[in-house]
Structure 1
């Protein structure tokens, strides 16, 4: 894929997780935003902000503070920038009986303690950032 050209690639769970966490930190995103399991590789292209994550299988995670179940596909990708992930693919949040794809995640800048999840249908849900802290 052309998007991956010139990218840093970390293979394996521990190294992949290190890169994913360092990217979340660098761009001011909550460290628990991507609860990953059995990571195959994580990659990042600095010039474009394109980031991808490959894990062995889909992962479902419940963010208990907000009672929200989120599904992460085996391949997740998007463009990361300060306080934001755009054109996100591979993440769905359960709404009633539906799993609408999440297309963008953003935090307010300057920070307000809120994080916003926008679906392809244009619906935005807002939650407290601390719900996505590591270990939640």
Structure 2
């Protein structure tokens, strides 16, 4: 795939998670945003910000602090920039009975300690950043 050209690629869960967490850290995003399991590959193209994550199977994670069930597909892609992931694919958050895809994640700058999740359906949900800290 052309968008993966020139990317750094890490294989395996441990190396992949190291890269994913270092990207979250570098771009000022909450470190618990990607509670992944059984990662096969993580890649990042610095020139475009394109990131991809491949894991063995879909993972569902409940962010207890905000009572949100989030589904992470076996393949997640998006563009990472300072305080933001845009054109996100492969992440859905449960809303009542629906699972709208999350297309953008934006962390307020200057930090009001809020993170916003936008879906393609035009729904935006805002939560405290702490809800997505590592270990949540």
Question: Superposition RMSD on alpha carbons, in Å?
Answer: 0.3
Whole-angstrom distance in 2 between the partners of 1:78 and 1:72: 13
Q: How many residues align?
A: 136
Q: How far off is 1:121 after superposition?
A: 1.1
Counterpart residue number, 2:81: 81
SS in 2 for 1:85: strand
Q: TM-score, normalised by structure 2?
A: 0.99
Whole-angstrom distance in 2 between the partners of 1:135 and 1:43: 23
Q: How far off is 1:122 after superposition?
A: 1.2
Could you give the per-residue CA deviations for residues 27-64 of structure 1, whole angstroms, max 9, x where no partner exists?
Answer: 00000000010000000000000000000000000000
Counterpart residue number, 1:112: 112
Counterpart residue number, 2:72: 72
SS in 2 for 1:90: strand
2:31 equivalent to 1:31 = yes
> Can you give the 5+ residue segments of structure 2 that lack an aligned partner in the other structure?
none
Counterpart residue number, 1:63: 63
Q: How far off is 1:94 after superposition?
A: 0.1
Where in structure 1 do 4 or more consecutive aligned residues deviate above 6 Å? none
Could you give the per-residue CA deviations for residues 95-118 of structure 1, whole angstroms, max 9, x where no partner exists?
Answer: 000000000000111110100000
2:22 equivalent to 1:14 = no
